[in-house]
Chains A and B, each alone.
Chain A
C-alpha cells in the first residue's frame, strides 16, 4: 500500500474528510451574529405590542411568531456556531436524539397533566 493509498483509505474509513470543511468565515460569523440580533429585536418588539400575548386579538400570530423566531434562532446557533451543519453527521444524530427524546417525553408529561388537570387542581386545592 503506498502512502497516498493509505491516506485515502484512512479518509474513507474514518469519514474524517467531511469534518472541518466550509466553516463560515469571520465575516459570515458577524453576519450570523447580526441576524440573531435582528431576530432578538423582533422578539422583544412583540412585548411593546402587548405583554400578554394570550389575551391579545392577534394572539395566534404573536405566539406563533415568537415560537417561530425561537426555533429559527435555535437552528442557526446549532448549525453555524456549533458547526452541526459542517461536522460529522454522528454528532447531529447524538444531539438531535437527545433533543427529540426530551421534547417527546415532556410533551407526553404535559399532555398527561392536561388530561388529568381537573383531578390535579382538586388535589392542589386540598393541599392548600
Chain B
C-alpha cells in the first residue's frame, strides 16, 4: 500500500479533494467533453446526411411517375395529431432528464414511461397510416412517390422504434437500481437521440405532408 501511495507522486497529492470527474478529468479527455456525448452528437450530425438523402430523394421523385399521389392518400388531420404526440414526447423527455439530474427516480421512471408511450402511439399511428395507404392501393413499389415516401417515413419510424427500446432499457435500469444520478448523462444522451428524431419529424411533416 505504501508503494502505491508513493507512486502517485506529489502532483496527485495536490489534487486530493478536487472533484476531478466534475471538471471532466480522468473519465473523459483533455477537452473536458464527455466522449459518449460527443459520440452521440457525431452520430446525429451524420444522421443528418441520411435523412437529407431521403428527403431530397422524396422531393425529386414525389411528382414523377403515374398513379396515386400525395393528395390522394394523405390524411392531414390524422398526421397532425401524430405529429403533436411526438412533439409532446420531447417535452416529457426533457422532464425525464431534469428528474434524474435532481435524483428523483420515481419521476424519472414516470417521464421515461410517458415518453415511450407517446412514441408508441406515434408508431401505432404510422402503422395505421401505412396499412390504410396499402389498402388504398399504394404499395412500396406502386410508383416512385410511394417508394420514396415509405423509405423516408419508414426509416424515421425505425429510428423512433429504436428510441423506444432505449427508453424502456433506461426504465428497466432505473427499476433495478442500475441508473444512479452519476449516470444522468446516459439519460441525457438518449434524450438527445429522441429530440433529434422529433426534430426530423418536424421537417418531414412540413415538407412531405403540408407542402405536398
Contact = CB atoms under 8 A, between A and B. Distances in A.
Interface in A54-99: 54, 63, 66-67, 69-70, 73-74, 77-78, 81-83, 88, 90-91, 94-95, 97-99
Contact of A102 (B49, B205, B207): B49
Given A26-B95, A70-B203, A91 B23 contact: no
B202 A73 contact: yes
A51 B76 contact: yes
A6 B90 CA distance: 39
B124 interface: no
Nearest to B199: A77
Contacts, number: 165
A118 to B, nearest CB: 13
Contacts of A13: 30, 32
Interface in A1-37: 1-3, 6-7, 10-11, 13-16, 23, 26, 29-30, 32-33, 36-37
Interface residues of B, number: 63
A101 B51 CA distance: 12
Nearest to B54: A106
B71 A82 contact: no
Mostly helix, strand, loop or mixed at chain B's interface? Answer: helix
B18 A40 contact: no
Contact of A26 (B17, B80, B83, B98): B98
Given A51-B71, A70-B202, A124-B64, A94 B42 contact: yes
B203 A74 contact: yes
A54 B95 CA distance: 39
B1 interface: no
Given A10-B18, A26-B95, A47-B210, A106 B55 contact: yes
